[in-house]
Homo-oligomer: A and B are copies of this chain.
Amino acid sequence: MNSVRKVPDIVIGRLPIYLRALQVMAAEGREVTSSQELGERLGISPAQIRKDLSYFGNFGKQGMGYRIPDLIHRLKQILKVDRTWDMILIGAGNLGHALAQYQGFTPRGFRLVAIFDNDPEKIGRPIGLHTIRDVGEVPNFVREHGIQIAMIAVPASAAQQVADLCVEAGIRAILSYAPIHLKIPPGVLVQYIDPAIHLQQMTYYMNHGT
C-alpha cells in the first residue's frame, strides 16, 4: 500500500472501466480473472492493468489472477463508491426525463434525489419518482442536503449560468451533457458526456466508405 505516491489522472480514469468490466464478470457468475483476460475485454495491455492496480497495493497472487469480488470491493473503496452519493439534476427536458428513469446509477453508487427546471410549465410536474422543482431552490436544497454532485442537462445557452449557480451553491462535481466547455473554478470537478468523442474514437478504425 502506498498512499503517498500521487496516482496519475489517466490511471484514475481507467479504474471505473476496470470496475465496470469486473461487475459484468461478477454478474456472469465469475469468481476469478486475470490481467490478461481483463486486457482482452478492454483493449488495454495486461501490463498496463497490473501497473495501474499496483498503485493501490498488491492484488492478485502471482499466477493466481484476481479474485473478482475482492477486486470489486477494493476498487469501490478507492473510487469512494462503497457508499451512495446523492445527486441533483438540472434540466427536465427530454434528456432530463431519460436520466430520471436511468437504471444505471444506483448499482454504481449514485442516487438522483431532486430534479430542477426553470420552466413554470414544468415545475410541480412529476418526473420519474420525483416532482420537478424550481431551479431557484437549488442553493437551499444543496446546502440543506449536503449535495456535492450535480448533473446538467439544459440547453447549451443556459449551461454556464446553471453551472455557476451550482458552484455558488457548493456543488463540487458537475457532470454536463451540454455540448459546450464550461468555465469552472479550480477545486470544482467537471466531466462531460460527449457522444462525439466516442464516435470519433470509432471512426479512426473505420474505412472511409460511402
Residues of A within 8 A of B (CB): 8-10, 12-13, 15-17, 19-20, 24, 43-45, 48, 78-81, 83, 85, 87, 93-95, 97-99, 101-105, 108-110, 145-146, 148-149, 151, 153, 156, 172-173, 175, 179, 181, 189, 191-206, 208-210
Contacts and interface: CB of A to CB of B under 8 A. Distances in A.
A15 B204 contact: yes
A193 B195 contact: yes
Report whether over half of chain A's contact residues are helix, strand or loop; otherwise say mixed.
Answer: mixed
A202 B148 CA distance: 11
A120 B210 CA distance: 31
A78 B204 contact: yes
A193 B202 CA distance: 13
Contacts of A202: 149, 173, 175, 189, 191
A27 to B, nearest CB: 9
Contact of A173 (B148, B173, B191, B203): B203
A200 B104 contact: no
Contacts of A48: 10
Contacts of A19: 200
Contact of A10 (B15, B44, B94, B99): B44
Nearest to A205: B189
A26 B141 CA distance: 38
B85 A203 contact: yes
